[in-house]
Amino acid sequence: MNASKTEMVNLNPTSSFSISMHLEVPNRSGMLASIAQGIASIGGNISSLDITEQTRNLSRIDVTVDATSTEHGDRIVEVVKMIPEVRLTSTFDRTMQLHRGGKIRMESKIPLTRQSDLAMAYTPGVGRVCMAIANEPERVYELTIKCNTVAIVTDGSAVLGLGNLGAAASMPVMEGKAMLFKEFAGLDAFPICLDTQDTEEIIKTVKHLAPVFGGINLEDIAAPRCFEIEARLRQELDIPVFHDDQHGTAIVTLAALMNSLKLVKKSLNTVKITINGAGAAGIAIAKLFTTAGVEHICICDSKGIISTSRTDLNPEKQEFAVEQTGTLADAMVGADVFLGVSAPGVVTPEMVKSMAKDAIVFAMANPIPEIQPELISNDVAVMATGRSDYPNQINNVLAFPGVFRGAIDCRANQITINMCLEAAKAIASLINPNELNREYIVPSVFDKRVATAVASAVQKAAREEGIAKY
């Protein structure tokens, strides 16, 4: 199945493609019904409808509609325009409107209302603080924002599933990431979008910026460069460095797998797992799974199974090469688990039916998964995606805020694979056995217990490994 066929599947409307329309209609019976019918006829979902003004003859109405795509939203608008006696006065894309002017800002923690405030916060009082840090460098954590600040670093080379968009176009994602750090872990994070995709330049720049930050979150950097950048920065900096596309994805996926296996009564060391996607996320998932005890992993890329017979493998892929050859379809035969971090529509129902009994499918390509859940709901024991409009969303926000909170609070100088493993266990443990079911294998992203549990697990692991300074 290719992407064009996948797009023919009826997707659920989502707020990410919502539009608002301001309408003027005659104040007459049946007008609201005709508007609702028109929107429904083309598959739009009305999420809110508000009569803002009403006279004897006229009603002014604000209608918010969820669509499945930008194009779908445009078609909804055209249908509404064609409804007799309905006048569309304005419309706007709600997502675009939300991003207007950016989503974050810097605010001062203290008021500056008197001369004495200024004298302490800035000159001349600030000079004493500078000298204190110069004499005792560790006091930078006590006396500056370093103790609570994360740099979100990208080169824009692998933005979401959209590809190489560059530094400027990556900013909305990094701003969103900063919001999540603040909301879920109370951390002040800032987008650092670098206008270079040269590995050495990125490493050099991050090292120069590092004194300001308590941790470095690498984001949306294409493989295989991301592997070298992370490895080098981990070696050359004394603060935690974490590539969320790799390790955040791996942590949450492992948590989801642990709970899914409880449902089907299978174990990590016996299941056969097929991973489609051999980039940053796929390789990191395989490494963490191996650490957790998984013994049978087959990874596929766009050319098929990562096989020892191939001569085109980078070192990261070579680590997981197997003797088996063939296509993704071949790799899925008899597999207990399919895990996709790849592309839309690459899996068919027939491929899923070839899997073992009580199959587990994590189709995490976003926004369109490797296979639509509706096509295989009766053929699998557990289904998960990366989307918020289906059960079991595998979302990195369950991991990275707590990981950084824990690492920074205990002043760990790195984030190890064991810290990631313990973070995954902490996430999985939040689902009580009596609550666990095929549509509830990971906590909600709004579960306030998550970041605290992850932070605690990360700190405990760091202390056990002897890398915590505080």
Give the strand pairing for 360-363 and 382-385.
Answer: parallel
- What's the Cα-to-Cα distance from 148 to each of 131, 346, 414, 448, rounded to whole Å? 21, 42, 16, 19
Please confirm, yes or no, whether 122 is among the known catalytic residues. Answer: yes
SS3 37: helix
The vertex-300 CA angle with 294 and 301, nearest 5°, equals 140
Residues 6 or more apart from 276 whose CB is under 8 A from it? 282, 299, 300, 301, 328, 331, 338, 339, 340, 341, 342, 346, 347, 370
**Based on the number of CB atoms within 10 Å of its own CB, is 195 exposed (0-12), middle (13-18) or buried (19 or more)?**
exposed
Cβ atoms of residues 271 and 247 within 8 Å: no
DSSP state of 360: E
Peptide bond into 367 cis (omega under 30): yes
Cβ atoms of residues 299 and 306 within 8 Å: yes
Residues 6 or more apart from 116 whose CB is under 8 A from it? none
**Residue 19 carries which side chain, given as an amino acid letter?**
I
Closest CA to 405 of 190, 184, 205, 166: 184
Catalytic residue among 5, 103, 122, 469: 122
**Cβ neighbours of 324 (radius 10 Å):** 14
DSSP string of 236-260, one letter each residue: H-SS-EEEIIIIIHHHHHHHHHHHH
Provide the token pair at 430: 């939040």
Please confirm, yes or no, whether 177 is among the known catalytic residues. Answer: yes
The CB-side HSE value for 30 (13 A sphere, CA atoms) comes to: 3
Residue-level length of the chain: 470
Provide the token pair at 301: 């890329």
Catalytic residue among 177, 272, 287, 425: 177
The residues annotated with a catalytic role in the active site are 122, 177
